[in-house]
Each structure stands twice: as C-alpha cells, then as structure tokens.
C-alpha cells in the first residue's frame, strides 16, 4: 500500500464538538475515518486526546502525518497494524501522546486503505482474518428510544435517572429490524407526548424510570421487540450510594442489585447494561446470579463502563462471572489490536458482543464494518438522526451485498 499522503483535519460531531478525522490517500482512493466522543465515560478509558487537548493532538499530527508520505506498507492482516502503531508510539514522548481518539481515526483509515489494497472492504478484510472468511451473520440493532441521565436535559425539572431505554428487534433481516425500530420510535413519541430529543436522538421526558419502562414495554409489544436499559449507574453513584432523583431516593449497593433484578423480572428486560457502579464487579455478579435463578429467558448482563474494551478488565469480568455480554467501543481503548484480542477472548468464552457508538457521533460508518467483520451479535447505533442512520445504513448495504 503506497501512501501518497495522510491528511488530518477537524470535523464536528453530533454535539457540535470538534473531533479528529484522518484521511489516507493511496492509488486505490481516499480513506477517511473520524472519531466519536463519549460523555458518560468509564474511568478506565484511555485519554481521548493529548494533555493539551484536541489542539495538542492536531499539532502532533501536523508533524507526524508528513512522515508517512510515500511510505509503502505491506498489510495482509489486522496484526500488520503494528507498522503504523509502532511509528505512532515512537513519535510520542512520555508527556506528549496522540490520545485514544487519534489512534482510533488513524488505525481505521489505515485499515480501510489496506483493505482496498487487498481488493476488499473493511468488514471483509477483518472477517477474512478473524473468521476465516465464513459468511458473517448479520447483527441485530440495539436502538436508544428514550433517554435520561447525562445525555438528556430535564423537562419540567425532571428526567429519568437511567441513561437509555432501548429497543432490540429479533428479525431475520437487519433492514426489517431497523424499520421496526423506527416505527416503534414514532409510537413512543406519541405515547410519551415527547417533543425534544437528546444527544443520541432519543426522546426526552419528565417521566420516571418505571413509567418509561411501562411505555417502552407497550411499544415493544406492538412491534414484537425486546427491551433493554443502560442504567449507566456510575453516573448517579457516589460514596457507596445510588442517588435517584426521579423518584427521589437513595439505594445502597445491595438495594441497587435487588432493585435491578426486580425490574428485570417485572418488565422482562432482555438487555441490561451497567446496572451497577463501574468498579463493582461483585455487584454485577450478584445481578447475573440472581437473574439466572429467577428468569427463564436469557438476559444479557452487559459491561460498558465496567470493562471499557480493556482486555484485562474484560478477563476479570468474564472470569468472575460478572457479565455474559460486553460493549465494544474501540475508542475506549484506542487500539484495534486490543479490540481484536477482546473479540477473540469473548468468542472463546461465549460472551455476546455489542459494538457501540458514542453519544457524540460523527458522519462515520466504520463501526458497522467493525461489528460485521469481528462478528458482533448486536450493533448499538441509535434509531434516528444522520450520524446514527449512516451506520445502520452501512450494515444494510453489507447485508444486501451478502444476499
Ligand atoms: P457515552 O455513553 O458515549 O456518552 O460514553 C454511551 C453509553 O454509556 O453506552
Ligand atoms: Zn453504556
């Protein structure tokens, strides 16, 4: 792969914040990837940018990218990424790092260019490497329908404490699943009487967690969907207590685990993300144990802030039986090589993988290629809004190609 040039630039994300885009120019074309940004981030995520912020990362890129000009890389598999990551690590100093979001954009653009050099699309290049080219199974979408927590503003001074109320179809095709989520999303608007959407284009409301779950349940029933929640529990946890505002009360960790179990049973929740604080592996385990005992159908007990796509934490969570499913957000760890190791580990241990967007998203659809290529069972990329739909559409395009 002969690199003509590599160009860094700023792009705006869905929150109108600046993000980094990297563009590779080769004889096969132009290949660009931009990075998303989280708001309810896990404590153990890598730092997104240089210690001088995004401007510091850009200054580094302005001197690093020209050094890639006219370089020739031989890239046949994902592990060959090392050629670019080694150069990046060598360029960094102890104090001056690119940051996880820059790594994400650089590695993605490099991989897309490399895939094209091999006559493949990115998902294909990855799938050939990690799944030996077997025909991939399409993921199902996990769609954020109603929002609360850090991603939402209050309505009449209130909002749900839980961050995301999700819809999860079970359909033969991805495109049908996306259509159903969109219909359900419109019905939810009506039932809630909602008018405004939040960071991820889910509906904002003044209703309580349980009122919202009731509405979500009836929407799901109409379209035969499953439901889920991302509590993002760390965002309302402080000094040993979960501080609920809507309705106003405090739960300690034992109460919290009991409450989450009770909700899961009552509303037949299929998908449960970050039900406990991000450091509380044994709390997650208590929920998983408890739910397995009382509920016949499977519930996914999912780590996001708990595990931050970090192999060490994923191992700890899986080996201690704290989770049976995992959020994969490549920019949490800022290394596709580590994502690959996480994926291999999850496959070995039968852990369900949900490839996920961030609340601040760009017009980039690389997440879809990662999900299909690595073999994620679910893709969490919202329901509506251009930054969300572009990813869903990319999965639909791949699905069409595979028919
Ligand atoms: P974030 O949240 O992208 O704002 O970190 C998303 C999530 O918690 O799943
Ligand atoms: Zn989450």
- What ligand is nearest to the CA atom of residue 306? 2
Q: Tens digit of pLDDT for each residue in 233-284?
A: 999 999 999 999 999 999 999 999 999 999 999 999 999 999 999 999 999 9
Predicted confidence at residue 294, as pLDDT, reads 82
Ligand 1: residue of 228, 235, 308, 329 to mutate (most ligand atoms within 8 A of CB) is: 329
Instruction: Give 237 Cα–ligand 2 centroid separation in angstroms.
Output: 14
Q: Tens digit of pLDDT for each residue in 310-359?
A: 999 999 999 999 999 999 999 999 999 999 999 999 999 999 999 999 99
Q: Is 230 near ligand 1, meaning CB less than 6 Å away? A: yes
Phi and psi angles of residue 153, each rounded to the nearest 5 degrees, phi first: -95, 165
Q: Is 39 near ligand 1, meaning CB less than 6 Å away? A: yes
Predicted confidence at residue 124, as pLDDT, reads 98
Residue owning the nearest CA to atom 5 of ligand 1:
38
pTM score of the predicted model? 0.98
Q: 281: closest CA among 247, 315, 330?
A: 315
Residue owning the nearest CA to atom 2 of ligand 1:
40
Beta carbons within 8 Å of 350's beta carbon, 6+ residues apart: none
Instruction: Give 119 Cα–ligand 1 centroid separation in angstroms.
Output: 34
Instruction: Give 73 Cα–ligand 1 centroid separation in angstroms.
Output: 35
Instruction: Give 378 Cα–ligand 2 centroid separation in angstroms.
Output: 14
Predicted confidence at residue 293, as pLDDT, reads 87
- Ordered per-residue pLDDT tens for the chain, 403 residues: 999 999 999 999 999 999 999 999 999 999 999 999 999 999 999 999 999 999 999 999 999 999 999 999 999 999 999 999 999 999 999 999 999 999 999 999 999 999 999 999 999 999 999 999 999 999 999 999 999 999 999 999 999 999 999 999 999 999 999 999 999 999 999 999 999 999 999 999 999 999 999 999 999 999 999 999 999 999 999 999 999 999 999 999 999 999 999 999 999 999 999 999 999 999 999 999 999 888 778 899 999 999 999 999 999 999 999 999 999 999 999 999 999 999 999 999 999 999 999 999 999 999 999 999 999 999 999 999 999 999 999 999 999 999 8
Closest ligand 1 atom to residue 41 Cα is: 5
Q: Is 157 left (phi over 0), alpha (psi -120 to 50) or beta?
A: left
DSSP 219-253: HHHHHT-EEEEE--GGGGEETTEEEEETTEEEEEH
- What ligand is nearest to the CA atom of residue 42? 1
Cα separation, 79 vs 75, in Å, equals 8
Phi and psi angles of residue 294, each rounded to the nearest 5 degrees, phi first: -100, -20
């Amino acid at each position: 792969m002969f690199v003509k040039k590599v160009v860094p630039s700023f792009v705006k994300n869905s929150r109108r914040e600046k993000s980094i885009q990297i563009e590779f120019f080769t004889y096969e074309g132009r290949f660009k990837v931009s990075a998303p940004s989280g708001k309810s981030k896990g404590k153990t995520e890598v730092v997104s940018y240089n210690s001088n912020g995004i401007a510091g990362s850009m200054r580094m890129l302005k001197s690093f990218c020209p050094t890639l000009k006219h370089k020739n890389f031989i890239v046949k598999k994902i592990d060959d990424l090392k050629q670019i990551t080694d150069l990046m690590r060598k360029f960094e100093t102890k104090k001056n790092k690119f940051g996880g979001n820059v790594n994400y954009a650089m590695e993605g653009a490099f991989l897309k260019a490399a895939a094209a050099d091999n006559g493949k699309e990115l998902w294909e290049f990855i799938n050939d490497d990690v799944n030996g080219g077997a025909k991939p199974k399409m993921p199902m979408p996990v769609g954020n329908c109603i929002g609360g927590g850090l991603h939402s503003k209050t309505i009449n001074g209130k909002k749900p404490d839980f961050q995301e109320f999700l819809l999860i179809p079970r359909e033969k095709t991805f495109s049908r699943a996306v259509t159903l989520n969109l219909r359900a999303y419109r019905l939810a608007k009506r039932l809630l009487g909602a008018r405004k959407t939040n960071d991820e284009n889910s509906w904002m409301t003044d209703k309580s967690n349980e009122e919202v779950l009731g509405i979500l349940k009836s929407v799901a029933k109409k379209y035969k969907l499953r439901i889920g929640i991302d509590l993002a529990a760390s965002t309302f946890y402080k000094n040993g207590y979960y501080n609920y505002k809507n309705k106003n009360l405090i739960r300690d960790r034992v109460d919290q685990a009991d409450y989450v179990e009770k909700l899961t049973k009552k509303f037949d929740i299929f998908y449960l993300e970050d039900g406990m604080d991000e450091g509380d592996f044994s709390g997650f385990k208590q929920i998983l144990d408890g739910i397995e005992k009382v509920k016949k159908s499977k519930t996914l007990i999912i780590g996001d802030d708990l595990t931050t796509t970090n192999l060490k934490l994923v191992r700890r969570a899986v080996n201690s039986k704290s989770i049976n499913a995992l959020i994969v957000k490549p920019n949490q760890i800022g290394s596709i090589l580590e994502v690959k190791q996480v994926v291999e580990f999850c496959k070995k241990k039968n852990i369900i993988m949900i490839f996920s967007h961030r609340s601040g998203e760009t017009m980039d659809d690389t997440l879809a290629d990662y999900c299909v290529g690595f073999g994620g069972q679910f893709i969490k990329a919202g329901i509506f809004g251009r930054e969300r739909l572009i990813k869903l559409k990319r999965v639909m395009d791949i699905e069409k190609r595979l028919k």
